[in-house]
DNA sequence: GCTTGACTTAGAGTTAACTCCAGGTGTTAC
DNA sequence: GTAACACCTGGAGTTAACTCTAAGTCAAGC
């Protein structure tokens, strides 16, 4: 699969795909004789994994280290697990912080809705007053 | 309250507090006659709000626009509510993405744990074999 | 009265993660 | 065979959000 196709399929710019390979986040992709990248099934699974991890904000440096350990084979399983556990913890912590912010946003939105309602009631009251004064009641 | 105290209390570097004020994220803080910042209760509430929002990744530009609307008074309530609703939606979306990543991490960690267990069993088996061969069984 | 330490400013430097550009090559359509 | 197009590279540029530096001011302690 060519780079433009991968780019479309996963919504990752071609420049970013090449960048990931250049910095060693994505292991070297095979090329045709003319030097054009041809992504294998394995490459695609790696792209998907990286997209998922990057989408959650895991740093490239950490992911590159992880991918490097994967390349080194089974002797690095413990080290890889440690990385994932640490990143999982940090991710959970960030999500907890975001949940607090979400709650605060919900609260503030509710308060604003209340205020808008009150404002509308005041306008309505003013219109009623005007109507009544026109009617001479 | 002086800037170093605010910095300590909320874990925000003094440089960052000054930076926030400079770019108009935090409205101008009052000064002593000699020009030293003296954070009021209101300033502190704003600092806390900003810290919360920034901690969840809301962009400074959006927050600055929001704070500007707050300064403009009650006529901007609808606009402020719109900003918060939009940011709430984006935050929820990011959290959903992160939840998927968290699930994948949990899955991968579990798989690694399984692999490590299997490896230990192989080692144990090898030791048993050795023991048995020593015993001549 | 002088040193120390906390504060001030404007502006430059840093970091992560892209993103773009110029110049070049290979393949396909006419 | 040549024009258009997708690909390639190395390297420069961009963006957001800080973070640091240099040079200066002020208040307090000795």
What's the 3-state SS for A29-73? CCECCCCCECCCHHHHHHHHHHHHHHHCCCCHHHHHHHHHHHHHC
pLDDT tens by residue, B64-122: 999 999 999 999 999 999 999 999 999 999 999 999 999 999 999 999 999 999 988 88
User: Integer distance in angstroms from CA A24 to C1' C20?
Assistant: 21
Q: How confident is the model at residue A75 (pLDDT cuts 50, 70, 90)?
A: very high
pLDDT tens by residue, B25-73: 999 999 999 999 999 999 999 999 999 999 999 999 999 999 999 999 9
Region A97-117: mean pLDDT is 97
Comparing alpha-carbon positions, the chain A residue that sits nearest to B52 is: A101
Would the Cβ of B18 be found within 7 angstroms of any atom in strand C? Answer: yes
Full-prediction pTM beyond 0.85?
yes
Chain A, chain B: beta-carbon pairs less than 8 Å apart: 94
User: Integer distance in angstroms from CA A64 to C1' C22?
Assistant: 29
Cα B41 to Cα B37: distance, rounded to the nearest angstrom: 13
SS3 B24: coil
CA distance A53 to chain B (A): 6
Nearest nucleotide, CA A34 to C1': C26
Closest by Cα among A38, A30, A34 to A3: A38
Question: At A2, phi and psi to the nearest 5?
Answer: -80, 160
């Amino acid at each position: 699969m060519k780079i433009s196709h991968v780019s479309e399929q996963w919504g990752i710019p071609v420049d970013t795909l090449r960048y990931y390979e250049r910095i060693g986040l994505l292991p070297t992709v095979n090329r045709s004789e003319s030097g054009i990248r041809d992504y294998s099934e394995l490459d695609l699974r790696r792209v998907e994994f990286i997209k998922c991890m990057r989408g959650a904000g895991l740093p490239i440096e950490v992911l590159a280290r992880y991918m490097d350990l994967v390349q080194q084979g089974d002797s690095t399983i413990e080290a890889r697990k440690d990385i994932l556990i640490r990143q999982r913890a940090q991710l959970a912590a960030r999500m907890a912080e975001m949940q607090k912010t979400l709650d605060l946003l919900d609260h503030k939105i509710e308060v604003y809705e209340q205020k808008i309602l009150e404002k509308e009631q005041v306008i309505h009251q003013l219109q009623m007053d005007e109507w009544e004064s026109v009617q001479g009641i």
